[in-house]
Amino acid sequence: MYVCLCRGVTEAKARELGEAGYISASSLAAALRLNDDDCCGRCLREIEPLLAIACGACPRRPAALVRAAAN
Amino acid sequence: MRAKEGVLDLLNAMLTIELTAINQYFVQAAMFRAWGYDRLAEHVRALSLDEMKDAAELIDHILYLEGIPNMQRLGRVAVGENVPECLQLDLETEREAVQTLVGAITHCTQVGDFTTRKKFEAMIEDEETHVDWFETQLDTIGQVGIENYLAQQIH
Ligand SMILES: [Fe+2]
Ligand SMILES: [Fe+2]
């Protein structure tokens, strides 16, 4: 599904960024430009599921940490 | 007429759900049409218009109770990347609407606002048919498979 309609960000895109090592809320937000004026603001507030997807896809991220990040 | 305690907040909460659903169904209908599923698109577009009628009714009633309809607040417009994803998200939206209405009806009874309760009761009936429709679509997909289901939507 689309996790941010403002930017047309799909779950697949979040996974792709996770694979590239974007596994913090701030780096994800910056990469997707969720923190500038054209985004509604809601996408940034609801970044948790996006972060969980990215963490899940990151090869450098052990499974236990991924679970912690999702909680 | 002045509203009883908490009633305007509930009417506005429901308005937010309706406004979100209007947008969600409208864009999904357009996506379905773009993908060639005209039959499905027609139905989802009609749902969007249904929700618009609900929104209009809520707006009128909020004004009647001397409140301000909050047209500014919108929930998350949930859009999938394919048909079953969209239908699943829509089902969740409708279930949330029913949930909110159940709470609203209970509250109206507690504060003795039977006029508003009646409006919410009419709405819950509609929303339950929406829940049922989405459930049926997903069940059908489960039974006949997505290809067969989609083949029936090209008209
Ligand atoms: Fe509705
Ligand atoms: Fe509905």
Q: Quick check: B72 contacting A, CB < 8 Å?
A: no
Q: Distance between CA B151 and CA B137 in Å, rounded?
A: 13
Let me know if residue B1 belongs to a domain. Answer: no
Q: What is the pLDDT of residues B101-131, one digit of tens each?
A: 999 999 999 999 999 999 999 999 999 999 9
Supply the pLDDT for residue B139. Answer: 98
User: Which residues in chain B land under pLDDT 50?
Assistant: none
Flag if A1 and B76 touch (Cβ within 8 Å).
no
User: What pTM, to 2 d.p., does this model score?
Assistant: 0.89
Domain count of the fold of chain B: 1
Supply the pLDDT for residue A71. Answer: 53
Q: Quick check: B2 contacting A, CB < 8 Å?
A: no
Supply the pLDDT for residue A39. Answer: 86
> Cα–Cα distances in Å, from B60 out to A44, B15, B50, B109?
33, 11, 16, 21
Let me know if residue B71 belongs to a domain. Answer: yes
Q: Return the residue in B27, B72, B79 with the most chain A beta carbons within 10 A, the one to mutate for interface testing.
A: B79
Let me know if residue B138 belongs to a domain. Answer: yes
More confident residue, B92 or A68: B92
Supply the pLDDT for residue A43. Answer: 87
Query: If 0-12 CB within 10 Å is exposed, 13-18 middle and 19+ buried, where does residue B145 land?
Result: exposed
Let me know if residue B142 belongs to a domain. Answer: yes
Q: What is the pLDDT of residues A16-65, one digit of tens each?
A: 999 999 999 999 999 999 888 888 888 888 899 899 999 988 887 655 55
Let me know if residue B17 belongs to a domain. Answer: yes
The verdict on ipTM greater than 0.90 is: no
Which CATH number covers residue B83?
Answer: 1.20.1260.10
Q: Return the residue in A3, A4, A5, A11 with the most chain B beta carbons within 10 A, the one to mutate for interface testing.
A: A5
Give the domain extent around B130: 7-153
Let me know if residue B69 belongs to a domain. Answer: yes
Let me know if residue B59 belongs to a domain. Answer: yes
Let me know if residue B2 belongs to a domain. Answer: no
